[in-house]
Amino acid sequence: MVDEELDPILIQVTVPLPVPMIFQAFLDPGQLSGWLASRAEVSPKVGGVYELAFDGETPFVSRGTILTLTPDVDVGFSWFAPPPFAKLMNEPSPKTHVYVRLQESPEGVDVTLEHIGWGSGEAWEEARSWHFHLWDERLSRLKDFLIKQAYG
């Protein structure tokens, strides 16, 4: 019997601001460093660089590539995990991907982040849990960052 893959991480936050403003927060290195990573390098085209550097308790760099990009709609990129999960998730190539979609709703714009490609077993469960907490915290920071940008 083969273990089934773990479910994708799926997190959503609603931001009461225009779509283009929110979308730019995922592509502009200056904005990315305001809510997601300490430093970012982005070449906003399919096949372009999507590199995020993280400081803190678990410093690392995710040297991803943009896999999908539809202006003001979605962006997807490959993900390189931090050192505790690097052997599991990054070798020989990144095994998980992050996909962000924007969709207007009555309360603003729903920002949905989906992190897919999880394997099975205890090590994968630990990696998925760590990433769930990362993305949950960062999407909350995204909303706060954008509202502060818009309204001061």
Pick from 37, 134, 123: which is nearest to 85 by CA?
123
Task: Determine the pLDDT at residue 2.
Answer: 53
Neighbours of 66 (CB within 10 A): 19
Task: Determine the pLDDT at residue 152.
Answer: 86
Task: Determine the pLDDT at residue 122.
Answer: 96
Q: How far is residue 152's CA from residue 137's CA, in Å, rounded to a whole number?
A: 21
Task: Determine the pLDDT at residue 4.
Answer: 82
Domains of the chain: 9-151 (3.30.530.20)
Contact partners, residue 81, CB within 8 Å, separation at least 6: 60, 62, 88, 89, 90, 94, 96, 127, 131
Q: How far is residue 120's CA from residue 151's CA, in Å, rounded to a whole number?
A: 44
Task: Determine the pLDDT at residue 100.
Answer: 98
Task: Determine the pLDDT at residue 27.
Answer: 98
Which residue ranges in the chain fall short of pLDDT 70? 1-3
Task: Determine the pLDDT at residue 3.
Answer: 63
